[in-house]
Structure 1
């Protein structure tokens, strides 16, 4: 895929990662974070960077893991993208290993790897697949993943959670997609600054806001946002089903599905509780101990929310990004007993 043109505030990350590919050492990179932060965009810009292109000479492959829920399915998809023949009777993971081991230096980007990693099923097989791929020293791997921590089965060269954009970069994104504001309009400029802040500078939310705002005054869009929140951050698709890049709600729902709220009802309740606090939960460690006196699973529930990057910590604050917060309060609000416990 072609990297997006409207790409601001991430050049330093891309350059840092590209420089890792100077030389011939194998690299294993994990680009982590909540949905909508631009992990895929970073991976695509890295994939097309001149340093990477010079290193792998056309053997850079992008593998979208959406909907791939098994190790065999992912191995088969990679073989197909590599245009390598799969054995009719052999183990497809071993076949992939042999194909990679016999090839020139290769870069694999496994995008949205959580779709396969967190799928209900044979997790051991997915773990084995990742280890097999990483064991080939001529193969470098980049994963993007809705998570706070990468799989621990292999040693990563670089692994970080991507933050939201800076206010300045967020404004660049909006104006690049929307077009310039009326010249000399201080009120529009102030409204835009406020809107971007209310979105917590999440790139996908800003991109969609800019598209749906075309032709409307920003004061009107601010009222729409405060009334409809994430429901307005979607494109019109007619009868076609929206994907995760066309709707903030669709993007967030994928993370909620990974949480598996039927098996983990306490986790969605804790998330709902945290979403009641726009400014976050301060002194969260001692507050969590107090909450745990009433709800015993609060700490393991928090670990689960953190695993799927549905919450973040900043010093003594535990918070939820604005789009996730509004989505959860609309579709998964906490019950009254849990809600009372947070205050």
Structure 2
């Protein structure tokens, strides 16, 4: 039982990060971020490719998306072009990804150390997340949640197909971030599992400090509470959306980097991992960060016990956790009469 609980907590820590990212993005932008799983896959397989001395296609994708984002910026500002804004857009959307692509090409041939692989992977996936928001979601920011959901599904399918193109159908594994192990009683802790715990706790504490102490964090909270009120108060909701997607992509990539030394990941593995983070986010009502983190640990532990006692029904049991939660929420929700035509 202790082994299963330990395994469940390790998986639950990763689901907690993904669930927090989903809640953050939905609260700020109203986007149900289905491509969160692709951020996991891209981060993991980019890291594994670099560690193996291979050139990941995600770096080229980041540059292509950056050029597209620059085109969107030019189109939006076509009636009042300002040299300063154009220069900033060029630096952010073209020069930065071009530099990262050059560094990736250089280091891929050198088989770089783990720290360099992690840094490049995080930067590449962060840029992809940022440019995706500019291209796919920012123009639809004022539409309904259903339209944003359809766009999210389209982005997910596109990124999954590109993942097959970049990494192939075969799975990959990456080197452990921290080697070694130690024993405490009946339990054995590996360096990778300790890394998972440490990064998860550090990220949660960092997000808490970010939202509570920084100006940008408070702007994100204000946008999540009342988007219109935040705009009236002078907060750029567009910038809030960019920060939310940037954080979500970094969290996804970091989660993938923590997973890929433990298990083999394929181009489509991230979707199922992201869905389990989504289960935790739904249990948290897509609002509560602490409840989402606790729910993620429960999901991880339930998954571990299900794998041991009923491995054929593991996924079914995990996703069935949604049914009682949705039932209770529907019973607690106030009755609303349907509008008559």
With structure 1 as the length reference, what TM-score do the two structures score?
0.29
With structure 2 as the length reference, what TM-score do the two structures score?
0.29
Per residue, is there more helix in 1 or in 2?
Answer: 2
Per residue, is there more strand in 1 or in 2?
Answer: 1
Instruction: Name the structure, 1 or 2, with higher relative contact order (CA <8 Å, separation 6+).
Output: 2
